[in-house]
Amino acid sequence: MTQEIQNLVDKGEMLPLMEEFYTIQGEGFHKGTAAYFIRIGGCDVGCHWCDVKESWNAELHPPTAIKKIADNAKKYSDTVVVTGGEPLTWDMRKLTWLLKSEGMKIHIETSGAYELSGIWDWICLSPKKTKLPTKGVYDNAHELKIIIYNSDDFRFAEEQAKCVNDNCILYMQPEWSRRDKVIPEIVDYVMKHPKWKISLQTHKYLNIP
């Protein structure tokens, strides 16, 4: 990468784009909604069960002008989901300003491990034990999504629920590879603790991206 391109990435005028695609949101509050997904490369949070580990190394994904990203998005939908990787690794202000200027609703899926940047209509916070969220993300999250892989994740979920704002919607979601084991445990837990809701990866059941 040339220094000129690196400077544009540092300023948020270019971003390491892994992929972009139009599909149905499969998880959380907006499941079932058509949206254009922008997957940004780069993540050092290191979840062992991550299903997009190929996103971790930002150097594998070409720096792409945010104007091109926005132009592609507006062809398909008025709702954009920025995901990763960990998108807050990068400065999101200029991308979100550009998308907003096109009249788009902008969602982010983030671990919250980095400071919040950008203008967001919906923030889905999915914290990880390896690198906890910043206060700004806790304070502004619209939904908290805890992935349940083992029994300790219920403890972690309650710990994280204490950190978010009072209006944040609380979700537990089974880790896909362990869904048969943990779904009955989640159902039982939510019935005993009804402040929580269940989120499923419905896009995987539908066999879509």
The domain locations on the chain are: 3-206
Q: What pLDDT, on the 0 to 100 scale, is given for residue 62? A: 94
Task: Give every CB contact of residue 26 below 8 A, 6+ residues apart in sequence.
Answer: 200, 201, 202, 203, 204, 206, 208
- 7 exposed, middle or buried (CB, 10 Å; 0-12, 13-18, 19+)? exposed
| Cα 94 from Cα 127, distance rounded (Å) | 24
Cα dihedral across residues 162, 164, 167, 170: positive or negative: negative
Average of per-residue pLDDT across 44-55: 88
- Between 46 and 56, the more confident residue is 56
Task: Give the chain's radius of gyration (CA, Å).
Answer: 17
The domain made up of 3-206 has a fold known as: TIM Barrel (3.20.20)
On the question of pLDDT at 103 being above 80, the answer is yes
Q: What pLDDT, on the 0 to 100 scale, is given for residue 72? A: 96
**Residue given tokens 């990763």 in the structure block:** 84
In this structure, how many other beta carbons lie within 10 angstroms of the beta carbon of residue 148?
23
**Residue given tokens 């892994």 in the structure block:** 18
| Cα 26 from Cα 63, distance rounded (Å) | 27
Q: Is the peptide bond before 26 cis (omega within 30 degrees of 0)?
A: no
| Cα 162 from Cα 53, distance rounded (Å) | 29
Average of per-residue pLDDT across 96-106: 97
* pTM for the full predicted model: 0.96
On the question of pLDDT at 51 being above 90, the answer is no
| Cα 12 from Cα 136, distance rounded (Å) | 20
Q: What pLDDT, on the 0 to 100 scale, is given for residue 13? A: 96
| Cα 173 from Cα 199, distance rounded (Å) | 5
Distances in Å between the alpha carbon of 177 and those of 30, 58, 130, 172, 180? 23, 26, 20, 15, 8
The alpha carbon torsion through 96, 98, 104, 109 (nearest 10 deg) reads -20
